[in-house]
Chain A
Amino acid sequence: MILTGDEIQHELKAKRIVISPFAQESIEPNSYGFRLDSNLICYDNKVIDACEKPIEHHYQITKTGFCLKLGHFYLGSTLETMGSDFYAATLHARRSVSTMGMWIQFSAPLGHTGAKIPWTLEIMVAHPIIVYPGMLIGKIAFWQPLGDCIRYKGKYTASTDVVASRLSQELYSKQGGF
Chain B
Amino acid sequence: MILTGPEIIESCLKGKIVIEPLIEEQVNPNSYNFRLGHTFRIYDQFPLNPKVQNSYTEFEIPTEGYVLKPNCLYLASTVEVMGSTEYAPTFAARSSVARLGLFINLSASLGDIGYIGQWTLQLFTIHPLRVYPGMKIGQIMWWKPKGKIKQYAGKYQGSQGPQSTLIYKDYEKKE
Q: Please report which residues of chain B, range 50-84, place their CB below 8 angstroms from some CB of chain A when the two chains form the complex.
A: 63-65, 67, 70
- Closest approach, in angstroms, between the C-beta of B67 and any C-beta of chain A? 6
Please tell me if the beta carbons of A150 and B5 are within 8 angstroms of each other in the complex. Answer: yes
User: In whole angstroms, what is the CA distance A178 to B62 when docked?
Assistant: 12
11 additional A-B residue pairs with CB within 8 Å, beyond A149-B29, A150-B6:
A43-B127, A48-B129, A51-B130, A88-B29, A107-B97, A122-B101, A145-B2, A147-B3, A152-B28, A178-B133, A178-B135
Q: Is A45 an interface residue (CB 8 A)?
A: yes
Q: Which candidate, A6-14, A131-139, A161-169, is the interface stretch facing chain B?
A: A161-169
Which residues of the partner chain B approach A1 to less than 8 Å between Cβ atoms? Answer: 1
* Minimal Cβ-Cβ distance residue in B for A149: B4
Q: When each residue 44-72 of chain A gets 1 if its CB lies under 8 Å from chain B and 0 otherwise, what string results?
A: 01111111001000000000000000011
Q: Is A75 an interface residue (CB 8 A)?
A: yes
Please tell me if the beta carbons of A122 and B98 are within 8 angstroms of each other in the complex. Answer: yes
Interface centre among A143, A154, A167, A174 (most CB of B within 10 A): A167
Which residues of the partner chain A approach B7 to less than 8 Å between Cβ atoms? Answer: 145-148
Please tell me if the beta carbons of B6 and A178 are within 8 angstroms of each other in the complex. Answer: no
Please tell me if the beta carbons of A50 and B2 are within 8 angstroms of each other in the complex. Answer: no
Please tell me if the beta carbons of B92 and A110 are within 8 angstroms of each other in the complex. Answer: yes
Please tell me if the beta carbons of B130 and A110 are within 8 angstroms of each other in the complex. Answer: no
Q: Which candidate, B110-118, B136-144, B162-170, is the interface stretch facing chain A?
A: B136-144
User: In whole angstroms, what is the CA distance A110 to B96 when docked?
Assistant: 12
Q: Please report which residues of chain A, range 51-108, place their CB below 8 angstroms from some CB of chain B when the two chains form the complex.
A: 51, 54, 71-73, 75, 88, 105-108
Indicate which residue in B2, B97, B103 contacts A88 across the interface (CB closer than 8 Å): B2
Interface size of B in residues (CB-CB distance below 8 Å): 47
Which residues of the partner chain B approach A109 to less than 8 Å between Cβ atoms? Answer: 92, 109
Chain B residues with a Cβ under 8 A of chain A: 1-8, 10, 28-31, 35, 63-65, 67, 70, 92-104, 109, 126-136, 139, 141, 144
* Contacts A/B (CB < 8 Å), 15 sampled: A50-B129, A50-B131, A50-B132, A107-B104, A109-B92, A114-B29, A124-B126, A146-B144, A149-B4, A165-B100, A167-B97, A172-B132, A172-B135, A174-B132, A178-B136
Indicate which residue in B10, B100, B141 contacts A147 across the interface (CB closer than 8 Å): B10
User: In whole angstroms, what is the CA distance A166 to B141 when docked?
Assistant: 22
Supposing A48-B127, A51-B130, A146-B144 touch, asked if A106 and B103 sit within 8 A by C-beta, the answer is yes
* Minimal Cβ-Cβ distance residue in A for B139: A110
User: In whole angstroms, what is the CA distance A143 to B141 when docked?
Assistant: 12
Indicate which residue in B6, B99, B130 contacts A49 across the interface (CB closer than 8 Å): B130
Which residues of the partner chain A approach B29 to less than 8 Å between Cβ atoms? Answer: 88, 112-114, 149-152
Please tell me if the beta carbons of A73 and B101 are within 8 angstroms of each other in the complex. Answer: yes
Please tell me if the beta carbons of B100 and A47 are within 8 angstroms of each other in the complex. Answer: no
- Closest approach, in angstroms, between the C-beta of B66 and any C-beta of chain A? 10
Supposing A50-B130, A174-B64 touch, asked if A150 and B104 sit within 8 A by C-beta, the answer is no
Please tell me if the beta carbons of A177 and B130 are within 8 angstroms of each other in the complex. Answer: no
Which residues of the partner chain B approach A122 to less than 8 Å between Cβ atoms? Answer: 98-99, 101
Q: Is A144 an interface residue (CB 8 A)?
A: yes
* Minimal Cβ-Cβ distance residue in B for A122: B98
Please tell me if the beta carbons of A110 and B129 are within 8 angstroms of each other in the complex. Answer: no
4 closest residue pairs by CB, A with B: A147-B7, A178-B134, A107-B98, A165-B99
